[in-house]
Amino acid sequence: MSSGWASLGPAGPGGTDMKLISAIIKPFRLDDVREALARAGFKGITVTEVKGFGRQRGNAELYRGKEYAVEFLPKVKIELAVDDAMVDGAVETIETAARTGNLGDGMIIVFDLAEFVRIRTGETGTRAL
């Protein structure tokens, strides 16, 4: 199957822009975010366990009476592809459900998505979302 994706331009074959939302959050907020996205009508997400640090620069932990620096903190990365018209709602839903008000709550990044293909059906673009 020849896709010709390089020539699609910004709108893709469905005629509408698509975005990939990537959110890095605290692991214990995952169920809250997943449930909030489901209530808001978002049908699928991908979840990956990741490690990293941001402004908090890790932390110090005690182990057997000795202090150790933990530079990379466990986080969860959530990804979902959405139609451009749904980006604001998805970002707001994630932000509200993931926020604790404490340092290290995470971040949300929105990328342009050139193409989306549903493998089972061969559907492409926004029709496949």
**Residue environment code for 2-16, b if the CB has 16+ CB neighbours within 10 A, otherwise e:** eeeeeeeeeebbbee
Note the pLDDT tens digit of each residue in 13-30.
444 589 999 999 999 999
| pLDDT one-digit tens code per residue, 55-76 | 766 666 666 777 667 678 889 9
Question: What are the extents of the domains in the chain?
Answer: 17-128
Written as six digits, the tokens of 124 are 């492409």
Pairing of strands 66-70, 106-113: unpaired
Residue 54, CA distances (Å) to 11, 13, 58, 90 in order: 33, 37, 8, 23
**Assigned CATH for 17-128:** 3.30.70.120
User: Given phi > 0 = left and psi -120 to 50 = alpha, else beta, which region is 18?
Assistant: beta
Angle of helix 30-39 relative to helix 87-98, nearest 10 degrees? Answer: 140
Global pTM reads: 0.78
Number of residues written out for the chain: 129
